[in-house]
Structure 1
Amino acid sequence: MVKRGAFIVFEGLDRSGKSTQVARLVESLNQSGEKAVGCRFPDRTTTTGKMIDSYLAQKSELDDHAIHLLFSANRWERSQAILADLEAGTTVVCDRYAFSGIAFSAVKGLSYTWCQSPDIGLPLPDLVLFLELAPAAAALRGGFGNERYETSEVQIAVKDMFERIGSDVGSERWKVLDAGRDVDAVEKDVRGRVEELLKKVEGPVGKLWA
């Protein structure tokens, strides 16, 4: 029987280094003989993803409830592919997931529990690595401000919401890492946490918020 892969999610504020760490981890795992693939949300290549991309680039407007449901639909579009990879023994490393969906929608005034509901039953990550970075530090990084939510005010509110989400998920699954360090230092920390996880991944993939 093939040992299933691990489902690892990176979360954090915009410009906290998630994409860099996802790419490095996938490359490192594959080089060590552990099959791994990366993914990111929103997936801007799908039909819903193109609508989301237009919204984030501030080229279109949508009701807050509607855009939240679009983000959720975008995750559901990939859910079966994620499960298939995991069951085939491939580790999936994801740049953002449903937790970002809740954080960014709830700070706009939508009900926290309502924001959770469309994602009930999605594949449950085995590990969430939250890259913690002060909003002021994130604002100094290249590219900040290009998209709709990249303002200091929004990022500060989102950081607080992520703390609530992390508490709900629980410390066994949600790990906070200092993203203000050198990129190599963060990568070393990530790899240590992942190696520990890979030793104990077993059983079926859980369901989010179930």
Structure 2
Amino acid sequence: MPSTSSSRLMKRGALVVLEGVDRSGKSTQCKMLKDTLNNQGHSVELFRFPERSTAIGKVIADYLAKKCELDDHAVHLLFSANRWELMPDLKKHIENGTTVIVDRYAYSGAAFTAAKPGFSLDWCKQADVGLPRPDLVLFLTLTPEQAARRGGFGDERYEQTDFQKRVAANYSKLSGEDNWKMIDADKDIDTLHTELTQLITSTIAATKSSGLGTLWTPASDCSGSPVKEKTRLGQEEALV
């Protein structure tokens, strides 16, 4: 059995998020990155949000496929709840030294809901306060017009060019955090993949001995423990 001191020295995995407007190539790159990094000897798992296999995820899937209608506030909280329900598993992987690549995260939740009338980015962020903070956010930049020319655009509820423009504007407001890197996605798949692989490999090496932070809290201690959010809204919604 490992000693307590050995356990403390265990190197954690990195938390890497890919974000971008719809059809920017995130899902394709996430799958390729998992395979490439595993083949290089890294331990890597892939998460995707929304995770449509859970009970909450199935409701979201029906909503996105336009099979049901829900209040926009309720939908936003369902997306957040879908992230929270998978956090124990995600954090366990990271603590055990596995790097987790995530296809969409809380940034998507905030950017998409705030693109709807009557919603502010500040309100939209509250339900996800305290989630693990990514070590690296790779934002794949692609204009809504470029995305609309890619196959499958328009199949789901939010795939409308004007809406995607508002989403892109919200992403721009969120991108000021120091863990973000803007990546031009208007290039061939292999060239983009090589660029992303190099950035993630560097992040894995740089974060092995550091604590995992918490998202959108006033501060986070080095162990990654959440700092209590003082707003009533944030406290209540984090429990959804």
Q: Same fold (TM over 0.5)?
A: yes
Q: SS where residue 30 of structure 2 aligns?
A: helix
User: Within 2, Cα distance between the matches of 1:82 and 1:208?
Assistant: 15
Shift of 1:2: 2.0
* In 1, Cα distance between equivalents of 2:127 and 2:145: 32
* Alpha-carbon distance between aligned partners in 1 of 2:10 and 2:29, rounded to the nearest angstrom: 27
The offset of 1:111, in angstroms, is 2.1
SS of residue paired to 2:24? coil
Per-residue CA deviations over 1:91-149 (Å, capped at 9, x if unaligned) read 00010000000000001031211111110111111000000011111001111100000
Bigger RCO of structures 1 and 2 (CA < 8 A, at least 6 apart): 1
Matching residue of 2:183: 177
State the AA in 2 paired with 1:138. Answer: A
TM-score, normalization by structure 1:
0.97
Per-residue deviation at 1:46?
0.5
Letter of the 2:31 counterpart = A
Aligned counterparts of 1:159 and 1:28: Cα–Cα separation in 2: 29
Which one-letter code corresponds to 1:161 in the other structure? N
| Residue of structure 1 equivalent to 2:23 | 15
In 2, distance between residues paired with 1:203 and 1:177? 25
Segments of 4+ moved more than 2 angstroms: none
In structure 1, give the amino acid aligned to 2:49.
F
Residue 76 of structure 1 is matched in structure 2 by 84
Residue matched to 1:158: 167
**When the two structures are aligned, how many residues end up with a matched partner?**
207
Match of 2:215 in 1: 208
CA RMSD of aligned residues (A): 0.8
The counterpart of 2:70, out of the listed 62, 65, 68, is 62
TM-score normalised by length of structure 2: 0.85
Whole-angstrom distance in 2 between the partners of 1:9 and 1:125: 6
Structure 1 residue 25: Cα displacement:
0.8
Give distance in 1, aligned partners of 2:47 and 2:185: 20
Unpaired stretches in structure 2, ≥5 consecutive residues: 1-8, 218-240
Aligned-partner SS, 2:198: helix
